[in-house]
Amino acid sequence: MLAIGGAIGVGLFLGSSVTIRLAGPGVLVAYAIGACVALIVAYALAEMAVVQPVAGGFGVYAETYLNRWAGFSVRATYAFIQIVAIGAEVTAAGIYFAFWFPAVPQWIWVVSVSAALIAINSLHVGRFGEFEYWFALIKVVAIVAFIVAGIGLIAGIVGHARIALPQWASGSEVLPFGWKGVWLALSLTLTSYMGIEIIAVTAGEAQEPEQSIPRAMRGVVLRLILFYVLAIAVILAISPARSATAGIAGSPFVEAFSRAGIPYAALIMNLVVITAALSSANTNIYLTTRMLYSLGRTGDAPAALSRLNRSGVPVIALACSCIGMATAILLAIFSPSRAFLSLYGVAVGGMLFVWIVILGTHLAFRKRVPPQQIAALPMRLRLFPASTLTGIAALLAISASTFYVPGLRHTIPSFILFLVLISLLYGTIRRVERRT
């Protein structure tokens, strides 16, 4: 449920407005391609998490099977992009609240939800898990209900939506922007699956990881594929592709139900997408806190980050995880119209790097671990090494495509600058270590 809570969030409920605008109905193909890449990453992670279930997850694996720089850079990157993503998610919550209270400034909602999330993450991890379980369950139930209601609308059983399915019969309507639009949309649809790596991060706190991790990883990815493809298909069917994606003023899920004419459905769906944003932000705060804690424990960051309170929560790491919220508040005050894409775009480049490092680590992992131990794993990646190499090649190609996506053109250059800076920081830390 943690993985579902982290993955099903603003990427689907708000970011889908951008992906549909880029690809039209062809966005379904982009989600299918993204699912293939996500499956490769999921299976690679599951192998490593079962063999080595530790707090810090893939950051520890990168340090173990690649080198210390890889371990440091992937954990620092992941912590940074999750901090940024937290800001994007609380910003999305502010956008959603405007559906009910358009006269209230966005920053007020950003401040309110930020305070609530900090309080939840200050609790014992068991209490946190309970909150996140129910957050995620609301999203899952809502998406299933959305799909069922959409099928009812398409069949003419309820509502009075203008069904767009007949328009898909024309090739020009199926791919209104050609295969180029599908490929460009992939740079954002792929991020909808980013969150499955949470399972590896939580492995150190999971009970019976050799059983729970493979089961969770397999189930989560398959459910995400089903939810995403069916939910986006319903949106496209209820509203014509072009008019359904006019901008980022709100969620296309809410707009779809508004067009359908089902009483109170749009209001209920708006409550659901607010819950989705809070759930994703909640999970990302947890992840960031644990990544910073992991860096503190290995000496790659100040030791204070690994300090725990009586509830077992690394409170200083938690405080650092809230920087994204502060940034979101400032953007909500001074640039509310650009806040979401500005924050979300920064996170994309970092997540692509993290997934590439995960697959690179998997290549080294397979060389180091005895074949008989791999054969005994409850879940393993087939067609290795071709599958892992294909995943790396796809991620590199998708990274290159961000230069052509509005809102993401500066993602890779900005991330490269960030990578240079943390590499310099890493070199400084190593020099200090050698002197002492």
Tell me the mean pLDDT per 10 residues along the chain, length 436. Answer: 63 65 78 86 84 74 89 85 78 79 82 82 70 76 78 68 48 66 80 73 64 72 77 72 44 64 69 77 78 77 79 80 76 63 70 91 91 82 90 92 78 85 85 76
- Rounded distance between C-alpha atoms, residue 86 and residue 3, angstroms: 15
- Residues contacting 387, CB < 8 A, separation 6+: 40, 43, 381
CA distances from 106 to 91, 117, 281, 327, 336 (A): 8, 17, 17, 13, 7
Q: What pLDDT does residue 247 have?
A: 44
53 three-class SS: coil
- How many other CB atoms are there within 10 angstroms of residue 78's CB atom? 28
Q: What pLDDT does residue 409 have?
A: 78
| Cα-to-chain-centroid distance, residue 175 | 26
Q: What pLDDT does residue 261 have?
A: 63
Q: What pLDDT does residue 246 have?
A: 43
Q: Are 38 and 193 in contact (CB under 8 A)?
A: yes
Query: For the chain, which domains are there?
Result: 2-435 (1.20.1740.10)
Residue from 132, 96, 99 nearest 112 by CA: 96
Token couple for 325: 């919220």
Q: Are 190 and 396 in contact (CB under 8 A)?
A: no
- Rounded distance between C-alpha atoms, residue 206 and residue 212, angstroms: 8
- Residues contacting 63, CB < 8 A, separation 6+: 70, 71, 72, 298
Helices (H), 155-251: 171-174, 178-189, 198-201, 209-238
- Rounded distance between C-alpha atoms, residue 198 and residue 132, angstroms: 13
Q: What pLDDT does residue 158 have?
A: 60
CA atoms within 13 A on the CB side of 411: 29
